[in-house]
Amino acid sequence: MSFLAVLRPVRVSLPKSSFPQAARCTSHRFSAAPVHSRLGTPRPFSSYLVAPKELAEALKKAPPSPISSEPRVIPLCASWFLPNDPEGRTGIEVFREKRIPKARFFDLDKVIDKRSPYPHMLPSPKNFAESMSELGIRREDIVVVYDSKELGIFSAPRVAWTLKVFGHPRVHILNNFRLWVEQEFPTESGNMWTVECGMYPIPEMDEAKVASYEEVREVALDHNKEGAEGVQILDARSPGRWTGKDPEPRPGLSSGHMPGSINVPFDSVLDPVTKAFLPAEKLKEVFTKSGVDPEKPIISSCGTGVTACVIETALEEAAYGSPEKRKVYDGSWTEWAQRVQPSDSLIRSSE
């Protein structure tokens, strides 16, 4: 049996003003501990999307206890709102107001590449591991990411996709917290007072899931050219932003779209009332009517790479297109509109 020096979790008390579930480990004890592989444990969920009842039952069987040595089910709140939210809401505020008991909070504005001028770019593997350690999440844990009840589905798919990019073995999305509340499953409110810090191993990034600016630019330049691969760019922004008639939520940013892109607004894959993902067959209809070819490669894009992951999740749920041929444009429109040159004619508008 091999051995590895690991960090024993230490309970850290938080003052009232501290950020919940984001404390750093201030002290550690090192010891020799056997390396176990628990990743063969059966999944408690049958699919990527998890119904509220499924999650409630799973939490009873494998609660997020700090003393458990077995894989735990960890609810992870990923609530986030656009910077121009009319009510001025923030993710941390709605987390404090109402959340799944023992949930952790993933701050989409902080777990990013802070050196990048563009928002929400993927963090480095080291920074990702540090964030997971501070959240007390272990690599063997089963993480269920969820959104605010106000929006239903919005930013949780981005956080779930981030975990998948960094190779977390078991990631799911709750479909959704609005239904969780309506079906009267348990909730709690207020600050979290303690954090169990751990040591999450530094992962490798699966770059095959990520589209770069250079890659997307080549696709746009090749649009309608003979012999081009025919990569499809799906844009999750609203029709008004895609056509260029409505402004972007970030001041000074041009609206419009990339040449050849297909507008698939992210809310078109959600139920208009519950804001949960539509059933798989309905999702297939949405993509088919939008003219998306499942045989061709797909790159999903949006404003900052958040709701592009709603589209990617819908494609996954509908089994539409090969997962090996699907990517998310990390920088999305915010990067695109700032990097392309006027002479390139790569920002189009529709009258």
Burial of 65 (0-12, 13-18, 19+ CB in 10 A): exposed
d(CA 154, CA 91) in angstroms, rounded, equals 11
Distance of CA 52 to CAs 61, 244, 253, Å? 15, 38, 38
DSSP type of residue 16: T
| Closest by Cα among 117, 198, 132, 200 to 162 | 132
DSSP type of residue 18: S
d(CA 165, CA 203) in angstroms, rounded, equals 9
Cis before 175? omega within 30: no
DSSP type of residue 118: S
Could you tell me which residues come within 8 angstroms of residue 26 by beta carbon, excluding any fewer than 6 positions away?
A: 10, 12
According to DSSP, the β-strands at 194-196 and 11-13 are antiparallel
Q: Which of 25, 77, 197, 302 is catalytic?
A: 302
Q: What is the residue-wise DSSP string for 53-117?
A: HHHHHHHHHS---TT--S--EEEEE-----TT-TT---HHHHHHHSB-TT-EE--TTTSS-TTSS
DSSP type of residue 283: H
What are φ and ψ of residue 232, in 5° steps? Answer: -100, 135
Is 302 among the catalytic positions?
yes
| Closest by Cα among 135, 84, 143 to 110 | 135
Distance of CA 13 to CAs 64, 95, 183, Å? 18, 19, 33
d(CA 293, CA 306) in angstroms, rounded, equals 23
| Closest by Cα among 14, 5, 57 to 183 | 57
Q: What residues act catalytically?
A: 302
